[in-house]
Amino acid sequence: MPWGNIVRPDKISQPAGIYIHIPFCLKKCPYCNFFSTPDLSLKESYIKALFHEIDHYNGCLLSFDTIYFGGGTPSLLSAVEISSILKKLFKHFKIQKDTEITMEINPGTAGAKNLQGYIASGINRINIGVQSFQDKYLGFLGRIHSARDACMALISAKNAGFSNIGMDLIYGLTDQSLKDWENDLQKALSFHPEHLSCYMLSYERKTPFYQARQNGHILPPDVDE
Ligand code: SF4
């Protein structure tokens, strides 16, 4: 049994959630310590391994009411690949009707066509990693997309038919004034997202930003600010 001495999932009465980590990014952002690789040639074997893992839990008695594709950059997977993973999950697990199925989207990897494909494959909620609406901060964060890409992704997502759209923003950036941050918030709200997650930039060990902060090359904002 894969469960060992942990509470048996069939004894849990509440619906659970499935999280799928897609471990690929075109380029590593210097503040990020989530696992990812730029080697997209591993996609096929990763999906095979994921299917193997799903098979391993076949017969699980839990029911699920959320599925979340996080990363990494899930939008490096095609709609066909996402669809095949969802089909596999629906085949092996008890997935409730009206399950919320979320996918994280990097604005640098999601064109209008991809977004249409994702909604057709069953994704009903997306979370767009905007991070900032200002190119100078996106450059600072080492993001692969521009502010315009982020706006286009938000517009394309609405046009594709998504009615549950979240976005992520990061604040507390070097040289970011309160006014800059307020502008980002205003811009974000102008898209009327269903959800907005705001993260203060953190300096995770073993990242280039952590090192740069230790060396004094990056200065976080003043504590009062
Ligand atoms: S795109 Fe996201 S997961 Fe990938 S390196 Fe950047 S912050 Fe990390």
- Please tell me if the CB atom of residue 73 comes closer than 6 angstroms to any atom of ligand 1: yes
**Cβ of 21 less than 6 Å from ligand 1:** no
Is the pLDDT at 76 greater than 70? The verdict is: yes
Element (H, E) at 83: helix 79-92
pLDDT at 7: 58
What number is the average pLDDT over the span 155-180?
96
Of 34, 128, 132, 137, best ligand 1 pocket probe by most atoms within 8 Å of the beta carbon:
34
29 lines ligand 1 (CB under 6 A): yes
Whole-number percent of the chain with pLDDT over 90? 88
User: Which ligand 1 atom is the nearest neighbour of the CA of 104?
Assistant: 2
Residue nearest to atom 6 of ligand 1 (CA): 29
Q: Are 71 and 23 in contact (CB under 8 A)?
A: yes
Whether 9 has a pLDDT exceeding 80, the answer reads no
Does the pLDDT of residue 6 top 90, yes or no?
no
Distance from the alpha carbon of residue 3 to the mean position of ligand 1, in angstroms: 31
The residue written with tokens 């499935």 in the block is 18
Residues 135-153: tens digit of each pLDDT: 999 999 999 999 999 999 9
153-166: pLDDT as tens digits: 999 999 999 999 99
| pLDDT tens digits for range 77-97 | 999 999 999 999 999 999 999
Rg (CA), the chain: 19
pLDDT computed for residue 211 by the predictor: 97
Check residue 5 and give its pLDDT: 54
CB 182 within 8 A of CB 132: no
- For residues 101-120, average pLDDT: 95
Distance, CA 206 to ligand 1 centroid (Å)? 15
Distance CA 128, CA 143 (A): 13
Q: Is the pLDDT of residue 215 over 70?
A: yes
Look up the pTM and report it.
0.92
Cβ of 199 below 6 Å from ligand 1:
no
Local structure of 13: helix, strand or coil: coil
Taking the C-alpha atoms of residue 86 and residue 1, their distance in angstroms, rounded to an integer, is: 24
Q: What is the pLDDT of residue 8?
A: 63
Angle, alpha carbons 185-186-189 (nearest 5°): 85
| H/E segment holding residue 155 | helix 147-160
Q: What is the mean pLDDT of the chain?
A: 94
Write down the pLDDT at residue 1. 45
With CA atoms as reference, report the closest residue to 155 among 198, 107, 214, 88.
107
Identify the weakest region by mean pLDDT among 4-8, 26-30, 65-69, 192-196. Answer: 4-8
According to the model, what pLDDT value does residue 10 have? Answer: 59
pLDDT over threshold 90, residue 104: yes
Q: Which long-range contacts (CB under 8 A, 24 or more apart) does 189-194 make?
A: 191/151, 191/154, 191/158, 191/165, 191/167, 193/154, 193/165, 193/166, 193/167, 194/125, 194/163, 194/164, 194/165, 194/166
Cβ of residue 108 lying under 6 Å from some atom of ligand 1: no
Which of 21, 24, 26, 32 is the best mutation target for the ligand 1 pocket, counting ligand atoms within 8 Å of the beta carbon and taking the most?
32
- CB-CB contact of 21 with 70 (8 Å): yes
Atom of ligand 1 at shortest range from CA of 72: 3
